[in-house]
Structure 1
Amino acid sequence: MAGRAILTLNRRHFIRLHQWQPDHAGILVCRDDSNRERMTRRINAAITLSEPLNGKLIRVNRPG
């Protein structure tokens, strides 16, 4: 195991994976945002608030 977290837009499948296999290095599921700079800032903030990521499912949503 490489100990690397995964960042994905495939929310449904990776949320299920987290439920089936909670022992992982971290999963970040994101909603796509055409404003990539804003999306990157949200991802960075989520990681910063949640470290360490081991075993966590982190949801990064678009602003409403």
Structure 2
Amino acid sequence: MSGHVGAYGSPRVTAVLRRDGRRLNRKKVERTMRERGIRGITRRRRRSLTKARHQSGAVAGSGRP
């Protein structure tokens, strides 16, 4: 677990516990994490670098209306 800099959500915790021989499902892990106040890290979405088209829908220099 040390290689992931604390970025553990319920699916990853479940996978690690199963590898260790525990028999449980993701919902049980989610409930236990919620009860203990443990929250996974939510990754931010990447912003698109493409600019939106103008209001008219025409692209400058494309030759189309």
Superposition TM-score, scaled by structure 2 size:
0.27
Larger of the two Rg values belongs to structure: 2
Higher strand fraction: Structure 1 or Structure 2? 1
Superposition TM-score, scaled by structure 1 size:
0.27
